[in-house]
Structure 1
Amino acid sequence: MSESSILPVRGRAVRPSGRHRRPVPSQLPPEAPALVLATLGDATGAVAELAALVRGDNPQIEVRLAGLGEDGKALTAELEAAARERPEDGVAAIVVPILTGPHPVADRLIAMAVAASGASVTVTDSLGPHPLLAEALHIRLAEKDLARADRMRLLNVSSPVDAVILATVGGEKAAAEAQPTAVLLASRLTLPVVVASLDSAPAVADAAERLRG
């Protein structure tokens, strides 16, 4: 997939307000830490869309994306690259796991990658349920002609499908953690969105039967 195909579809930056959110400065010093988004597997699909959205909304932040793969080496490389561009006595990067909740495998790979990089790094909690996840999924559905979107507000205006099954991996806990994202996606699409698991209950077939019912 070319970089141009994963650019955000929004035409303007959207900066949510609220007492729990501090505004991001319009400019940051060159030595400001990079924001490194870490994801299981490779850095493609919906997570690439999410990274593009973050870049579009925050052009003053250096946003990097790394898939953890099987050994975390891609993340190590990103952290090393970020460290080379920053003072040795500063924080090189802030790593945000793009996951709906804690994940033992991802946590271990991230810890290994940080240690191998030798860089000064801050690792945050997992992103958790977040509107950006629903937005990225909406974009992917629209690209496959499975949803239509208002380009300014990214709300569904019509759809060729009747419902969506949001499939997860990681067992029943991962399926439960995906429920808030399913609710957010359903509100965007104005369609039913049901969570299913590829490696536990509820199975995809059960979700499909539930929707047919």
Structure 2
Amino acid sequence: MRYTFTPPVPAEQIRQLPTRDVAILLLQHLAGGTGFLQYAGTMGSARQAFQDEPDAENLVDRLSDAWAWLEAHALLSRVPSQSEGFRQLSPVKTRDMAPPGFHRALAAHQAVPRVQHVSSGVTEAIERQNRAMRELSRRAFPEPDAAPDDAPASMNDARLQRRRQAAATEAAALRRARAEKADRPMAAPQQLERTA
């Protein structure tokens, strides 16, 4: 059985929108939930949802940036009664009580147009690099050969393999012991002192 994970923000929007806009979409998603929020849980869920995307790690990184943006703009705050990992949507009064400098900085930040210009050459280079990394990963960590019809190996096969490994280990230990014995003369037994 395979679970289906729904990303907090769709992959295409994460790729195309600036961090501020991704953060607002993430905030809308978080506001629809119940209870306290956890960064690790949200990012783990996103990682599962994006597992089939070619740029999954980049998507999770961008989502993490959006989370940080929400915290930096006092839209998420710690839950005093919980451990450090828990967050909650900040009450409106928290943002209203922020110093005037914060509001000026936030207004200036929001006034700057957010236009992303990515040349097609850069996009192609990223795609080539991602393909190369996937190919290197496939070479370094090849998929194990599956049993016919994905059936698990039989108990007898597993038992036989363990016996072979044990026999090989025993043979290696005997060879090593014989080699050590051949290189050194046997020491004479020593008389133990009486201590009682």
Higher strand residue share: 1
TM-score by length of 1: 0.27
TM-score by length of 2: 0.28
Higher helix residue share: 2
**If you compute each CA radius of gyration, which structure gives the higher value, 1 or 2?**
2
